[in-house]
Amino acid sequence: MTEIPRATEGRTDPSAWRLASVREVVHETPRAVTLRFAVPSWPGHVAGQRIDVRLTAEDGYSATRAYSIATPWVGSAASTIDVTVEQLEDGEVSPYLVDVAAPGDELEIRGPIGGAFTWQPSDGGPVLLIAGGSGLVPLMAMVRAHAVAPSQTDVRLLLSSRTLADVLYRAELQALASAGTVRLHQTLTRGAPSGWSGSTRRVDAAMISAFAPPPAAHPRIYVCGSNPFVEAATGALLGLGYDPASVRTERFGPSAS
Amino acid sequence: MQRAAGALALAFVLEAVQIASMPPISRGFLGRRREQPDPSRVPPGQHVVQDFPVLSYGPTPRTPTAEWTFSIDGSVQDARRWTWDEMLALPQERITKDIHCVTSWSKLDTVWTGVSLDVLLAEATPTAKWVTAWCDGGYTTNLALADVTGGKAWVAHTFDGAPLAADHGGPARLLVPHLYFWKSAKWVRGLTVTESDEPGFWEQNGYHDHGDPWTEERYGASFR
């Protein structure tokens, strides 16, 4: 039996479990909440990275799942780590995080994890972000990193959601788009309100072509969503002539439950 | 008497250490452990899934089998290359193994068909102790020769009786099921035998160099 490492005060070891306390719970949509963690020993992270969250039951049973971080690390003692969790039917961990977790609760996290799906303002652009549903979470960390820098980079976000009620961070995105911080194009695939000015179909080549910097501008491209969403969006991108090496993907699946 | 007091004090210290290292309890969290099969088959920190999640850092390459080859080169006596048809003409093995992804899911009793790397490497005769698997799309991963010989690794082209789907690594992927699954490189096109251990894509991006799921060799040193 392997000894399981417990939360420590380790500073840079991504394998170390760290105590995290829930500072705030924000109800984003009927199915998703943002848990705002305070982690005193956190070493910092780059937008796009993820954490592992571990829950432990009273008898010692534990379960671990990976979640993307929605916020950039701004380096001050007041920094928090936001993860937005969508409740998956039949999930083991997400129903607890969405329905039960409350301010003051303590659990364990480790990370940051993943050095391939990252962007920080010094990386430059232009940047094209394509998100399906809760795939917005790690891309929102990039949008927020860009907004707080503030950077002059051309950052565009193409966001596909089921309905308006399913759009994460809706008010914040609208404010960032109105201020010109990001260019935003939204599509709603399962019904739009009257007067909707966005698209109402799944992301396709025509939608990308009308919104994105052209291939000749060599954008850094990040695509995140379900596997079918990522396959469709990346297939369209390659068909339009974007360099496969410029496209990074993250795929959310039932395994993240 | 003094010794007894000392032992008692030590017992208190041990108890205090144990309490300090206890993880926080999430009251009301029960988990689904009854659904977990034989715990001896599930490495620490893993949970069993029935589906087959797809994780890739970039777009899915789609190389037609007519253009596909598999090479072994680098520090070898005879560099070798096989076409798709030549690969299928080699002895085929049916492999049933549990697989373990670093993102914490495990899938039990997965069934593959492929060619043992023992067969392929025997034709090339390595003269060094490390290999780098390289792939369409630019992915690489490093492995010790000892981890891919002795009936431990295959070039797999069939999953569950059907041609391996492109998003799962088809037309062919490496299958090294005793290590975390990022070592089982999708869209594999060859092995380069190297004189030293040369970290691959994920090994340079935060994952462990070796990746044994039973000792939780998940993450490497900080990569920020």
Asked if B31 and A100 come within 8 Å (Cβ–Cβ), the reply is no
Cβ–Cβ below 8 Å for A100 and B26: yes
Q: Which residues of A touch B53 (CB under 8 A)?
A: 227, 251, 253-255
Q: Nearest chain A Cα to B59, which residue?
A: A234
pLDDT tens across A176-211, in order?
A: 999 999 999 999 999 999 999 999 999 999 999 999
Nearest-CA distance B222 → chain A (Å): 6
- Which residues in A lie closer than 8 A to residue B49 (C-beta atoms)? 254-255
B201 inside 8 A of chain A by CB: yes
B218–chain A nearest CA distance, Å = 7
* Tens-place pLDDT, residues A102-118: 999 999 999 999 889 99
Quote the pTM value.
0.89
Q: Measure the CA–CA gap between B60 and B190, rounded to whole angstroms.
A: 18
Whether B215 and A2 lie within 8 Å, measured CB to CB: yes
B49 touches chain A (CB under 8 A): yes
Is some CB atom of chain A closer than 8 A to the CB atom of B17?
no
Q: Which residues pair with B192 in a beta bridge?
A: B73, B132
CA distance A39 to chain B (A): 14
pLDDT (0 to 100) of residue B221: 64
* Interchain CB distance below 8 Å, B29 and A100: yes
Identify the pLDDT of residue B75. 98
| B1 confidence band (pLDDT: 50, 70, 90) | very low
pLDDT in tens, B178-195: 999 999 999 999 999 999
pLDDT score for B29: 85
pLDDT at A256 over 60: no
Contact B26 A249 (CB under 8 A): no
Contacts across the A-B interface (CB distance below 8 Å): 141
User: Cα–Cα distance between A171 and A176 in angstroms, integer?
Assistant: 9
The CA distance from A207 to the nearest CA of chain B, in Å, is 18
Residue of B nearest to A253 (CA): B53
> Interior CA angle at A12 toward A9 and A17, to 5°?
50
Preceding peptide of B171 cis, ω within 30° = yes
| Mean pLDDT value across residues B91-118 | 96
pLDDT digits (tens, 9 = 90+) for B24-73: 888 888 877 656 678 899 999 999 988 888 888 899 999 999 999 999 99
ipTM for the predicted complex: 0.85
CB of B62 within 8 Å of any CB in chain A? no
Identify the H or E element spanning A138. Answer: helix A136-148
pLDDT class of A216 with cuts at 50, 70, 90: very high
Which residues fall within 8 angstroms of residue B26, CB to CB, at 6 or more apart? Answer: A55, A56, A57, A96, A100, A101, A105, A107
**pLDDT at residue A231 above 90?**
yes
The answer to whether the beta carbons of residues A197 and A184 sit under 8 Å apart is: no
CB nearest to A6's CB, from B21, B56, B58:
B21
* pLDDT at B109 > cutoff 80: yes
Whether B222 shows a pLDDT value over 80: the answer reads no
Which region among A18-32, A229-243, B44-58, B131-145 has the lowest average model confidence (pLDDT)?
B44-58
- The pLDDT assigned to B107 comes to 95
Contact between B97 and B112 (Cβ < 8 Å): yes
Taking an 8 Å cut-off on Cβ atoms, the answer to whether B55 and A100 are in contact is no
